Amino acid sequence: MSADTQSHEHHIVPVRTYFATLIALMVLMGLTVGVYFIDLPGLGGFLTGTVVNQTVALIIAIIKALLVIMIFMGVKWSTPLTKLWVAAGFVTFSLMFFILVDYGTRREYEPVPAWDKAGESATPRGFPPGSQSVPSNNINLRPRG
Amino acid sequence: MAAITHTSDHSHDDHHGPLHHQFESIEQQNESYIVGMWTFLVTEVMFFGALFLTYTLYRAMYQHDFFVAHEHLSIPMGAFNTIVLLISSFTMVLAVHFAQLKRARAVIANLWLTIALAGVFLVVKYFEYTSKFADNLYPGPSFTANKAVFEHNGHVPEIDLNHAQIFYGLYFGMTGLHAVHIIVGILVLAALARMWMKGNRLVTEDFVPTELVGLYWHFVDLVWIFLFPLMYLMPKPH
């Protein structure tokens, strides 16, 4: 909190740094569109070509995001507290994706396959689980039990 | 904002704005402003994050249907809007740069340029949404029952329309929420530009308010950086 550790002169970034960042962002955008039209080979197992393509697209997006955060938003030249705050925010965001692990363990039930036909996916309230006595009126009810 | 009073008895160099009485130093004041803005932005990250999580979940479940549904989106329009937003981020950062140098005319010009680019973004979005409405792709009871709207390269692909509807729910939800942020951004930028044009000391003497608006605008750009590849550039299942 003490001002003693910080510079009294605010860092003014030259316009050419910002312009170079803009050009880099444009090039990366062109690259991500280019990759879309190429079907990259899979690496075996769950790493199918689709996963590889998507991973490449996301890595490019993350590089673009880092350029915007570091240069345009000036986090690179900000105080340690600001850096900690920003990092904590994005770490919390990525932690949220661990919820997907939970969905993986109960795929049959959630998210509720409400768009499918009622008879195939849902046991209406009041019916025992797995009951076939479902009115075929296409009304979807949440599975119970 | 209106409650902030200026103190004239504190010494400060003419590069920074007035130091308010509750802060020890200009560095502490600026850090408080920036950290406060980032706190808001982090809540925004979580707000959009929940939607990205939903997208990930349904995309993993309905890979094929999402891919077919996404082919209706126009990549040229999406790419054009990406370029527009990236340039608007550049003009915004120039506005902050000139605010640090206290060059009011350059700040005002760049703020209006940013607003104009945001307007271009919304106009393109309007044409995109119109073409989706024309094909009844808005989720709800009127969602299309006609698979022919997904015709691509001369043949109608196999698609589950209910899953396509989930994709369009996410598409309209996420790009719509993003568009709301663009509209709010335009209003905030216009208010800031007006303060600069009136020579309000709150912004002309201190570049940080301009920088805070800039942080918000870059955040809007940041969301689009992820929305564009995830919505428009879905890789073909292979």
B106-117 pLDDT tens trace: 999 999 999 999
Terminal CA-CA length for chain A: 55
pLDDT in tens, B18-63: 788 889 988 899 999 999 999 999 999 999 999 999 999 899 888 9
Q: Which residue has the tokens 């919390």?
A: A92
Q: Is there a contact between A13 and B97 if contact means CB atoms under 8 Å apart?
A: yes
In-domain check, residue B1 = no
Nearest CB among B45, B162, B214 relative to A115 is that of B162
Mean pLDDT across A85-94: 92
CB A60 within 8 A of CB B229: yes
In-domain check, residue B87 = yes
Phi, psi torsion values for A72, nearest 5 degrees: -65, -40
Q: Where are the alpha helices (DSSP H) in chain B?
A: 26-61, 63-70, 75-100, 104-134, 161-197, 201-204, 208-227
Min Cα–Cα distance to chain A from B47, Å: 10
Range of the domain at B205: 26-232
Min Cα–Cα distance to chain B from A120, Å: 15
Write the ipTM.
Answer: 0.88
Contact residues for B34 (Cβ-Cβ < 8 A; gap 6+): A78, A79, A82, B208, B211, B212, B215
Q: Which residue has the tokens 């910080």?
A: A6
Give B-chain residues touching A10 at CB under 8 angstroms: 15-16, 30, 100
Distance separating alpha carbons of residues A37 and A35, to the nearest angstrom: 5
- Is the pLDDT at A129 greater than 60? The verdict is no
B152: which strand partners?
B155
- Tell which residue, B175, B159, B161, has the closest CA to residue B231: B175
- Rounded to whole angstroms, what are the CA distances from B24 to A81, A102, B8, B11? 16, 48, 15, 12
In-domain check, residue B82 = yes
What's the pLDDT score for residue B17?
Answer: 54
Cis peptide before B235 (omega within 30 of 0): no
Distance separating alpha carbons of residues B220 and B178, to the nearest angstrom: 7
Count other C-beta atoms under 10 Å from residue B75's C-beta: 15
Count: domains in chain B: 1
DSSP conformation class of B148: G
In this complex, is the C-beta atom of B75 within 8 Å of any C-beta atom belonging to chain A?
Answer: yes
Backbone angle region of B100, left / alpha / beta, with phi > 0 → left and psi within -120 to 50 → alpha: alpha
Distance separating alpha carbons of residues A106 and B1, to the nearest angstrom: 49
In-domain check, residue B15 = no
Say which CATH number the domain at B205 has: 1.20.120.80
- Is the pLDDT at B143 greater than 60? The verdict is yes
In-domain check, residue B112 = yes
What's the pLDDT score for residue B109?
Answer: 98
- Work out the pLDDT band at A130, boundaries 50, 70, 90: low
Distance separating alpha carbons of residues A11 and A78, to the nearest angstrom: 9
In-domain check, residue B72 = yes
- Work out the pLDDT band at A10, boundaries 50, 70, 90: low
Return the domain boundaries, chain A: 3-79, 98-145
**Following CA atoms A103, A107, A113, A116 in sequence, which dihedral angle do they give, to the nearest 10 degrees?**
150
Q: Is there a contact between A61 and B229 if contact means CB atoms under 8 Å apart?
A: yes
CB B237 within 8 A of CB B64: yes
In-domain check, residue B211 = yes
Q: Which residue has the tokens 């997208």?
A: B55
CB B174 within 8 A of CB B48: yes
CA diameter of chain B:
76
What's the pLDDT score for residue A56?
Answer: 96
Instruction: Give B 97-136 residues with CB within 8 A of chain A.
Output: 97, 100-101
In-domain check, residue B7 = no
- Tell which residue, B212, B211, B213, B208, has the closest CA to residue B185: B213
Q: Is there a contact between A9 and B56 if contact means CB atoms under 8 Å apart?
A: no
pTM for the full model? 0.84
Min Cα–Cα distance to chain A from B41, Å: 9
CA atoms within 13 A on the CB side of A72: 33
- Is the pLDDT at A120 greater than 70? The verdict is no
For A32-63, the DSSP string reads HHHHHTS-PPP-BTTB-HHHHHHHHHHHHHHH
